[in-house]
Amino acid sequence: MSRSLSISCELAPQQADDPLEQRTWAAVRIYATERCVTRWLDRASHQEIDTVYIPAFPLARWIVMNWWALLNEPCRKELPPSPQALWTEREQAWLQRHCLRSAESGLFLPRLSIWNNGRFLGANWVADADNSYLTMPGTFLYGSLAAIDVHEGEDALRSFVGTVLRWIEDSDDPRAVRLRDNWQTIVNADPEEVAFCQAAGRMGLDPYDMSSWSAGLVELLEMLSAANPPPIVTDFLSSAAAEDATPLWNWVDQVQQAGKLGPATKPPPLPLEPDVYAGGQAGVTAAHRLRQQLGIATPLSSVEDVANEIGLGPIVFEDYDHLPRGSIRAAVGWQAGGKAVVLGPKPSSTESQRFLLARALFHATFICQRGARLITRSHDWDQQASRGFAAELLAPRAALAAAIPADLDEDEQADAISGLAETYRVHPELIRRQLQNAVRLGIQTDDLS
């Protein structure tokens, strides 16, 4: 499957009051993994069209303005905020940085969001509801989700911005001058500045506007920024809010030193398949194959037994509290002698402890090769993979689907889910999600083999 982003942009004659709009009026077509994002239904002709006719300048300006966040910041949930939902202030700010429709009010653009999921650029576009946006020439059709190679996505955005700038290279309009200057700042950044901007962008911050940053944040990002940062730093930047960053990093730093956390000393028992599956599904597949490989019984007796079975040795949970509020749950790494250790505040319930330890097992086994990692509430590729792994390891979808008769009414199903949660020693919500995924994917008892 192609993982490219394509933005076709060709000048189209158009009279406009704004000189920059007139000089950059273009026929724009956007494709993600060979699927058309800009396909829309024309209200007048009732025909489906792949091209939008818009002034390209506002879109180029928006890309440049949000460059570092667009290419580096993750989505804070599994998918971008839904158009039907009531957005929080934080969600609305995220959409301003990542959704093309935020480029300018009144610009006819699809609801396409782009973000960094840790391994790819995620692209999600959503169809418009029927009879919505009646002032627009039509409604955008279809919706989908794509994984785009980071470098290919960046190249596509660079090419689009470069095309628009060539059209206005001799313009002395202050907006054109400002856009050229801002783009040159990005293009001419040295490696040290690029690393700092990427770190800021990963937190959703504008590295060129530090006036609202909390005290000490500039110094912290200067310390953490690197061309190829350790994975634990990427985990931290993907999950920490700007206002909590300094005390959170102090805790992470203390945990690394107290636990003497380092990289894995043993190879994983089987490979992950990041190029094939989304993070959550990759984790599910790894857990399923691990269960098959080891002949693990259902229900699972303990996560520690699985660690021993795969040659990991005992995985140890050490209660390390005093974690400031935020989205970090625990740190995972390896100590000298080949012992995997999890450090963090121990959850109060047995079910939460088992789930967190199963996520830690995924981290220790599959993604600690370059160093210690964090278990967080964020939704980048690795964190979603750890959730999928933990859910499938503790309560396999196929076994749950086989245990719930299809003809149960709502109350009977709720009772059955409660019983399964008790049997598998997990939270009932995990059972519900696993069953929903089993239905969505059409999983039978012999699937995933």
Domain boundaries in the chain?
A: 5-184, 279-441
- Cα 204 from Cα 142, distance rounded (Å): 28
Is the pTM higher than 0.75? The answer reads yes
pLDDT at residue 446, as a whole number: 43
User: Cα 308 to chain center, whole Å?
Assistant: 31
The answer to whether the beta carbons of residues 154 and 71 sit under 8 Å apart is: yes
pLDDT digits (tens, 9 = 90+) for 84-102: 778 999 999 999 999 999 9
State residue 195's pLDDT score: 97
Residue 447's pLDDT band, with cuts at 50, 70 and 90, is very low
pLDDT band for position 38 (50/70/90)? very high
What local confidence, expressed as pLDDT, does residue 215 receive? Answer: 86
Which pLDDT score, from 0 to 100, does residue 343 have? 95
User: Per-residue pLDDT for 432 more than 60?
Assistant: yes
DSSP string, 388-402: HHHHHHHS-HHHHHH
User: Could you give the count of Cα atoms lying within 13 Å of 35 in the half-sphere of its Cβ?
Assistant: 18
Q: Which among 363, 354, 401, 341 has a CA at the least distance from the CA of 283?
A: 363
Spatial distance between the Cα atoms of 8 and 159, rounded to a whole number of angstroms = 9
